[in-house]
Structure 1
């Protein structure tokens, strides 16, 4: 979590109890004492272990009468404030607040120092109370971890001035706390009376809602497969709102894989919680999408919205707290009205919102903002993972760290003279690894120390340079620095869940060193453990053991497979034993495949989608079809399709229209496209969607077999492939009134082990020649 993030008190995330509410000194000061600019310029931040060691070093230098880690508390305005002063010297009547840093002392931000003074002054007041002192020395002790030298800032403060400072902070905090307490009490009463937003449940919707409610009540995770069209978003959000008080919920995180999913979630939450006026829903957006001044760094010297941010934040926060739905446009309007950064306003409001809608990475990434807050504040959260089949590939990407040649070359080109030798040593070891390869790709069981040592030395040298010359902390050198830092972080956690890959550009591959994650379970397990309950739901989330194993869901995870509301007579599912779409058979079967598509169109003209496993296969099939069936309209997905072109592709599927759209299986049109009624009446799926048999995937298969004996092929190829098939077929039947046809164009679909993985409501038949 960012060092700039304001910390709040757990006491404010639920109605204050009858007893005096309590808050830490850190939270009190972070709420009311930060001032000045946002500042996110690079500074080398000590680790938690280095910080603790630094505190111990300073404390060990003090005299015999020096008290360490002094537990203190005081009450004001009905608020109990507790904390631990780093040190107190009774002989000199001096309280110390110890901070560690690297680099230049004058690089410590002004807003940080204001916060440090506020904390130290609170401890000063508490010690004046405890020791009956008329005045006390308040000292900030900054320890340079590199040199071991201390810089001490010391001020003498009278008791009355410290009391006034403390009481002002408490009064401001308590006024906010009381308002939030009133809101939470009203919210709980509203949610207890919350009725289902529709007159009746759709088929399957009640079953899913009950499963989510029971999982939250039992504080267990749930993996649920539920078909499209039953209203999954309402069925997962409404029971959590209804059970808010019974489950002692403090937050709900609704996580999506793609931006459109957030809009759907906000709409459903507006519906599910429409009678809860006190409910606050927040949408979190990526920084690059929320930024009002792209290209400018997040500091007061560069960005006008960072300048004086903390001075204007209280007014912006007050307006935001009175707004029920803090969507991206709403937050932007509030931020503009108060001249603050909308991205960091949203981060602040995460502490004061009940339901947060965000991308997966906000909870599951290695530096996830919501996960860090949950741990720090000890929130009771329920996490909803929408379209959870996407989490596997997304999580693999989160815990994969590539070092690629072009960014390295860019960094080397702009590196100062003192850094170039370090990078040259790294490049030499990089080349030495590639020279040992028999082919352009190699997967190693371990990361050689001969590589890690120059990496660590390069990172240390660049960090020291940035600390000495902050203006250089930007551009290609900084970007590659962060790449190296993340690579080293994953190297520390390297295990059987990942593989170290060395690729050269000889055969068109990317010249790279990569820690590639294969099984994200070890990284995701703490995320599931931190939640009260996590619900992973999707229309295609089978078989359950596969997702439970690779995602790291707990052993006691509940499972729910909601029956489809659709009937077998709505969808004719045909397999083609006479057609093989294996790579070596494609050219020979292309005419039969395209003739089957054309014949079906002639029998029932309308809109169809034909899916292929690659663009090369798609292009060949499209060309063959256009030649053999020139009277049938067609349109085709292209490589690197722009957003406008994707929209135009979907727009061709008009009600009452006729034609065949050619698309790639697993691409933009294989899921998330809603074409009800006769906008789409059939789909042709040419192949099982299996990932390519290449060196990388064979390494994965071998590792999967080691980790999950007997499942290597299924976990690598079969299950991921058939998920894409079922999703593509799911574009055809969207409502209980739809009818259509799906052709599974490969003889392997006729195998019992493959048929057993297809939806139970399908009645699969063999198509004639």
Structure 2
């Protein structure tokens, strides 16, 4: 029964309150950088990252002490933090000390030394300041303490080992929950199984209607015992995907002859799981944080004994019974669950819980990412940050006295930046580097707000400003050719300074390296090299396409190659497009979707169609639609209904909506979906050209046609569907464009043009 020292201590030595005060915790990257800075200051004899192993009370322990000085016989444990160290609770300090003393015990047992000096180093990454707490301890005392911790953990470890055996035995004979696979689903499952067993990285293009959720979960679960993998992470880029995964896992569980001992956890966003969003996350403010770790063992046992998946609602019920915070109970259960269903940010963003746990415990993880074509844009957002002058000025006007000096220093640097950048309108200015003079003032403001909020009632505006500044400074430290610094002035007091990520590969590559096998799947993942390069997947990542369950005779793809939808030609295209829509509708009456590149273009063609054919029912998307308005738009596509819905390509109705049967019989796509040819995208094109040699394709062509394929894919959702797709633009007929469209759209004799 193996366990990481840190995991052992977090299980057996944590006591007291949950304490996530306003002090912003360093990210994993912050921690690595902070450790490296402290380690670099030690002498040449210093040994960083000292690997330690040993057996105690039936447990195989492993870990890495942050450093060892052989001349002083001193073990160091480095903890990075921000803000006043005196605010660190005694319970947190006790946990840190327990971890350090566990390393000391293993070191003495491994080297035969009678004693060791122990140093707990607290490093303030905001102030570049070390605070060191030293003590000496005998080998016997340290080993006795370690034995107590191991005794406390051993019963749980035995329970976990028994669960693992039962889980693996059950997965060896896991049954598919239906009598047969859908067409193409068996090939999908076999491919996923081989990829997991070979511990490889694979991008899989599998069309809609194939049953991708079960077709990936089932073989990935079967592979767990065969590969010795510890966990399965099923990640989604859209919320509906989580529910599909949970439904699939429930179907697998219910179909087995005996109960399936598989712990399934749903991780939800804090906004959805927090019971007291108006309270700070510490025992003095929130009743669910007070005594959290004292009541956690009983709640944790209740959670592992729960019959069924640990969904958000199930966790909430357990948390209520034990007076605990459900959000942080879910975080705890991520340590003890076999399958975690979550958003992609839980593995890929700067604070990713699952990445941290994987590294800490040396887990072997099977990773499945659904709707992976969205990951490029999602990841760019994770590693971008914006400072808003309006938020700064508002805080400055309302600031309490202690915060006025640091706010004034930031405002002064902002004014200097505005004079230097000198934008005269809303057009952005792209800076060659981060304004270095601004960063110290931002760090000072973060520290000042942190200390103020610790002693004062919650202030959401100040908290948001603090995290904006913190996100910006963190990304500024890692700034490179993968990102762009942009200054934009939208009017007096409305300027913005942003770090915008262009190439997420640099940040994501370590996340992919940490997992055992990777599967990214979607209906639109071609060309594979584009996603491999932009996401930082390993060079040996495979790309494979699964045969579609749909047939060319189900869809009629028609090209309006005499119409141009380029910006200069849009006015002239209004009447021809309206005529085409009206003609198709009268030829075959039913429900249609028409996609355009912008709301302005949509509105122009809509008005023309109303003039030409006032008898055709129409409805349209508009900016800022509420959830109810979106649902009303979708509800208009009733079975047996007639009319044309107008939408923007790449918007809320471009993917993720299901309108099978007669609810939708056709689509018009009046755009290639190309991003605007503006200065920002031109810089992106140049960076991608320099890095990968395919600037135009990676910036414009591939992302645009991916949106087209997603939108047109709304038409055929089941093997029984029939429909028509109109591709409106002369460029669709070009061989280099047409070859990027799904090949099953075309009869076999035409697939030479439509192949990958």
TM-score computed with the length of structure 1 as normaliser? 0.86
Distance of 2:450 and 2:551 partners within structure 1: 64
Contact 1:192 1:242 in 2 (8 A): yes
In the alignment, which residue of structure 2 is the partner of 1:177? 157
**388, 412, 423: which is aligned to 1:425?**
412
In the alignment, which residue of structure 1 is the partner of 2:269? 286
In the alignment, which residue of structure 1 is the partner of 2:304? 321
In the alignment, which residue of structure 2 is the partner of 1:259? 239
Q: Would you say 1:209 and 2:196 are equivalent positions?
A: no
Contact 1:44 1:467 in 2 (8 A): no
**477, 486, 499: which is aligned to 1:492?**
477
**710, 713, 719: which is aligned to 1:727?**
710
548-557 vs 678-687, greater mean Cα deviation: 548-557
Give how far 1:25 is off. 4.1
Aligned in 2, Cα 1:343/1:577: closer, same or farther, shift over 3 Å? Answer: same
1:518-575 deviations in Å (ceiling 9; x for gaps) = 1211111111111112111111111112212212222211111112221111111111
In the alignment, which residue of structure 1 is the partner of 2:753? none
**294, 306, 309: which is aligned to 2:292?**
309
Aligned in 2, Cα 1:262/1:102: closer, same or farther, shift over 3 Å? Answer: closer
Distance of 1:549 and 1:509 partners within structure 2: 39
In the alignment, which residue of structure 2 is the partner of 1:297? 280
In the alignment, which residue of structure 2 is the partner of 1:578? 562
Give how far 1:730 is off. 0.8
1:278-319 deviations in Å (ceiling 9; x for gaps) = 111111111111111112111111111111111111111001
Give how far 1:71 is off. 9.1
Aligned in 2, Cα 1:529/1:77: closer, same or farther, shift over 3 Å? Answer: closer
Give how far 1:703 is off. 2.2
Contact 1:70 1:86 in 2 (8 A): yes
In the alignment, which residue of structure 2 is the partner of 1:17? none
Aligned in 2, Cα 1:577/1:152: closer, same or farther, shift over 3 Å? Answer: closer
Distance of 1:700 and 1:497 partners within structure 2: 9
Q: How does 1:169-568 map to 2 (within 5 A)?
A: 169-274=149-254, 275=256, 277-323=260-306, 324-415=308-399, 416-435=403-422, 440-444=427-431, 446-448=432-434, 451-460=435-444, 462-463=446-447, 466-467=450-451, 470-471=454-455, 474-505=459-490, 511-568=495-552
In the alignment, which residue of structure 2 is the partner of 1:9? none
Aligned in 2, Cα 1:27/1:271: closer, same or farther, shift over 3 Å? Answer: same
In the alignment, which residue of structure 2 is the partner of 1:14? none
Aligned in 2, Cα 1:216/1:69: closer, same or farther, shift over 3 Å? Answer: closer
1:307-350 deviations in Å (ceiling 9; x for gaps) = 11111111110011122311111111111111111111111111
Q: How does 1:56-75 map to 2 (within 5 A)?
A: none
201-210 vs 251-260, greater mean Cα deviation: 201-210
Aligned in 2, Cα 1:360/1:128: closer, same or farther, shift over 3 Å? Answer: closer
Contact 1:573 1:743 in 2 (8 A): yes
1:459-486 deviations in Å (ceiling 9; x for gaps) = 1354156347733685444433332333
Aligned in 2, Cα 1:56/1:207: closer, same or farther, shift over 3 Å? Answer: closer
1:155-180 deviations in Å (ceiling 9; x for gaps) = 999989x8876554323211111111
Distance of 1:602 and 1:594 partners within structure 2: 12
Distance of 1:105 and 1:615 partners within structure 2: 52
1:18-75 deviations in Å (ceiling 9; x for gaps) = xxx3445433221012111111113376845655776898x99xxxxx9999998876
SS in 2 for 1:202: coil
In the alignment, which residue of structure 2 is the partner of 1:13? none
Gapped regions of structure 2 (runs ≥ 5): 751-756
Distance of 1:272 and 1:347 partners within structure 2: 25
Distance of 1:648 and 1:283 partners within structure 2: 29
Give how far 1:731 is off. 0.8
Give how far 1:141 is off. 5.8
In the alignment, which residue of structure 1 is the partner of 2:19? 39
Contact 2:6 2:360 in 1 (8 A): no
Supply the RMSD in Å over aligned alpha carbons: 3.6
SS in 1 for 2:525: coil
In the alignment, which residue of structure 2 is the partner of 1:758? 741
Q: Would you say 1:713 and 2:696 are equivalent positions?
A: yes
Give how far 1:221 is off. 0.7
SS in 2 for 1:244: helix
Aligned in 2, Cα 1:705/1:54: closer, same or farther, shift over 3 Å? Answer: closer
Distance of 1:737 and 1:539 partners within structure 2: 18
384-393 vs 627-636, greater mean Cα deviation: 627-636
Give how far 1:105 is off. 4.5
Contact 1:98 1:141 in 2 (8 A): yes
TM-score computed with the length of structure 2 as normaliser? 0.88
Distance of 2:116 and 2:687 partners within structure 1: 61
1:86-123 deviations in Å (ceiling 9; x for gaps) = 9999xx99999886766545311132023245446667
Give how far 1:438 is off. 9.1
Aligned residue pairs: how many?
Answer: 731
Contact 1:579 1:745 in 2 (8 A): yes
Q: Would you say 1:748 and 2:731 are equivalent positions?
A: yes
SS in 2 for 1:351: coil
In the alignment, which residue of structure 2 is the partner of 1:16? none
Q: How does 1:133-144 map to 2 (within 5 A)?
A: none
Contact 1:290 1:342 in 2 (8 A): yes
In the alignment, which residue of structure 2 is the partner of 1:639? 623
In the alignment, which residue of structure 2 is the partner of 1:12? none
729-738 vs 191-200, greater mean Cα deviation: 191-200
Distance of 2:697 and 2:76 partners within structure 1: 60
Contact 2:18 2:291 in 1 (8 A): yes
Contact 1:382 1:532 in 2 (8 A): yes
1:207-227 deviations in Å (ceiling 9; x for gaps) = 221221122222211111111
Give how far 1:358 is off. 0.7
Distance of 2:84 and 2:55 partners within structure 1: 38
Q: How does 1:588-667 map to 2 (within 5 A)?
A: 588-667=572-651
Distance of 1:730 and 1:361 partners within structure 2: 26
Aligned in 2, Cα 1:122/1:435: closer, same or farther, shift over 3 Å? Answer: closer
Distance of 1:119 and 1:642 partners within structure 2: 50
Distance of 1:362 and 1:208 partners within structure 2: 26
468-477 vs 742-751, greater mean Cα deviation: 468-477
In the alignment, which residue of structure 2 is the partner of 1:114? 94
Aligned in 2, Cα 1:682/1:320: closer, same or farther, shift over 3 Å? Answer: same
